[in-house]
Chains A and B, each alone.
Chain A
């Protein structure tokens, strides 16, 4: 999966959990928390939905790496690349 496809998938999951993000300009390197005030429950749902969407397991200690759009895409790319190998 290339980065563009991953980004599309992340945005799909994000707008499911944080529907007000739909149509908004998303700052890729600013955390979702700072942009949308998401709370820890939203964030947990976001990570769990990403796991399903991409069929991956994210260890809890890595959760903070999924805090922004850039962070999510980079993290998932490395995870999916490792999975293919």
Chain B
């Protein structure tokens, strides 16, 4: 059996890590000092886009490549910091010309193309709020999020507009402008849309970021909960302090790095680390238009001489399926640091990485709400394979139990399971759930933010992920709320009841599975199963829709008639617990 630790030799580094001694870094760390490292706006205040673009464009890194975009065909297109400043200035001016105000929400629904990055940073310059939607969402999740966020502007592509937006547009009265990126020479969206490139060329290239309060809203991300509609997580410009600090200490970014975050900006990782953190660090970041493809990915790592890589366990498990031989055909010696996020990274994957890349993968943990990495395996710290790592300097993490009456009690003894709590505040902590103050306050007890993740902490202070405290499904690193899926299945005329859970899956971690009972008059058959899946996939998009549907006459319920998802879970695992179809109302999680 292999040792469970990968011991780091603290000498002979190709590049000396920014964090060399974990304990020392923790002891000397202060968020104020990080803030002082940043530029700040010339007229006062703090704006993410200034730190990410303008301060480099104004200085020595003006001609350094900020974004290297790889198109579908594999060709690289470079955007220097100077060029990025000009384009994002134009986008900010374009918003102004359309009468968009600071604080208004600008949504983007797009695959990874340069216009997405320009829109994101231009929106921040204008002090509007940027919200990116995953381009594989179906019309329903898109409509829900645009409506909840009262999006005033949507930037999208011709193809996505035609397939997903046109049909829902009249249900969105707040949506004033749809800006469409068309293929050259074709007519985008039609007369009720604005051509992205024509718009940008019609406005000025100079723009001065107005004074920005660090507490001004900057980013909106939607995340899923167990109940009700998706939650709009609001982050402010001060979050950049967290992006910068973690970029330095966890991703260990150095000026000459080529950094590749494979996450799509439709998810929080793709914004915090696929746009902001690398640019604030002034490095070159890679964005690939194409989706996962093992040989393309190895090829990119090799040809672009990627030095720091941030990816996800599902991708790593897919690469593992391709085997070591494929990896062996590529020169991956440029890679210095591999990191991962999205779901627990199993020890097996860490060891595979050591074999194939010559380095372990360093798992990190954080959430949409935390805004930046909170717990990590650091480059200069021994890796406990399978562990989340240790808290980022400046972050205090605890294991707690919830008690009756809403109190919490810290768990001191090592190895005991409890809920992960983080001491508030930190710069990138979310400041609100959109229009839901009560739900926001429920996340805090005293000055602790309760994460909803169950963990244990070992004797040496490494945290280990145990599971979710709620019913939220983590599939391929994406959080999926069961209710959103259940609601769409309930629209189908054949469905009487439905309960949605995550079924453990070798590659995705979990896949969405729906248990359905049918209305009288409907027969269980393959055609109906396909019809239900087609319905869900069309409305929700394949990422959110169930991969599997099981029919059963009765679903386990509480006395009050609520479907108990954890009994469906247990049933899936084959536990006898599920044989009881009725049970008492479950109590809130209590101190065991």
Contact = CB atoms under 8 A, between A and B. Distances in A.
Contacts of A37: 135-136, 138, 541-543
B505 A41 contact: yes
Given A40-B291, A40-B476, A41-B508, A61 B326 contact: yes
Interface in B358-382: none
Nearest to A64: B293
B119 to A, nearest CB: 21
A74 interface: no
Contacts of A18: 537, 542
A64 to B, nearest CB: 5
A36 B533 contact: no
B542 A42 contact: yes
B251 to A, nearest CB: 24
A40 B506 CA distance: 13
Interface string B488-522: 00000000000000000101100100000000000
B534 A44 contact: no
Given A39-B542, A60-B326, A61-B326, A19 B534 contact: yes
Contacts of A57: none
Contacts of A22: 530, 534
Contacts of A36: 542
Interface in B524-580: 530-531, 533-534, 537-538, 541-543, 547
A41 B295 CA distance: 17
Interface size class of B (residues with CB under 8 A): 20 to 34
A63 B505 CA distance: 20
Contacts of A33: 291
Contacts of B543: 37, 39
Given A40-B476, A41-B476, A64-B293, A15 B530 contact: yes
B270 to A, nearest CB: 15
B292 to A, nearest CB: 5
A38 interface: yes
Nearest to A15: B530
B530 A16 contact: yes
B284 interface: no
Given A20-B538, A61-B322, A44 B136 contact: no
Interface in A31-85: 33, 36-42, 44-45, 60-61, 63-64
A41 B538 contact: no
Contacts, number: 59
Contacts of A38: 542
A19 B531 contact: yes
A40 B538 CA distance: 17
A40 B318 contact: yes
Residue among B296, B507, B530, B542 having the largest count of chain A Cβ atoms under 10 Å: B542
B473 to A, nearest CB: 13
Nearest to B535: A20
B414 interface: no
Contact of B507 (A16, A41, A60): A41
A6 B538 CA distance: 27
Nearest to A21: B534
B294 interface: yes
Nearest to B136: A37
Contacts of A20: 533-534, 537-538
B510 to A, nearest CB: 10
Contacts of A15: 530
A38 B416 CA distance: 40
Nearest to B292: A40
A65 to B, nearest CB: 11
Given A40-B292, A42-B542, A19 B136 contact: no
A16 B529 CA distance: 10
Given A16-B530, A42-B542, A60 B323 contact: yes
B314 A40 contact: yes
A44 B507 contact: yes
A60 B292 CA distance: 13
Contacts of B318: 40, 44
Nearest to B318: A40
B321 interface: yes
Contacts of A42: 542, 547
A33 B543 CA distance: 12
Interface string B263-293: 0000000000000000000000000000111
Contacts of A41: 475-476, 505, 507-508, 511, 547
27 contacts: A18-B542, A20-B533, A36-B542, A37-B136, A37-B138, A37-B541, A37-B542, A38-B542, A39-B542, A39-B543, A40-B292, A40-B314, A40-B476, A40-B507, A41-B476, A41-B505, A41-B508, A41-B547, A42-B542, A44-B507, A60-B321, A61-B294, A61-B295, A61-B326, A63-B294, A64-B295, A64-B296
Interface of A: 15-16, 18-20, 22, 33, 36-42, 44-45, 60-61, 63-64
Interface of B: 135-136, 138, 291-296, 314, 318, 321-323, 326, 475-476, 505, 507-508, 511, 530-531, 533-534, 537-538, 541-543, 547
Closest 5 CB pairs of A and B: A19-B534, A19-B530, A20-B534, A37-B136, A60-B322
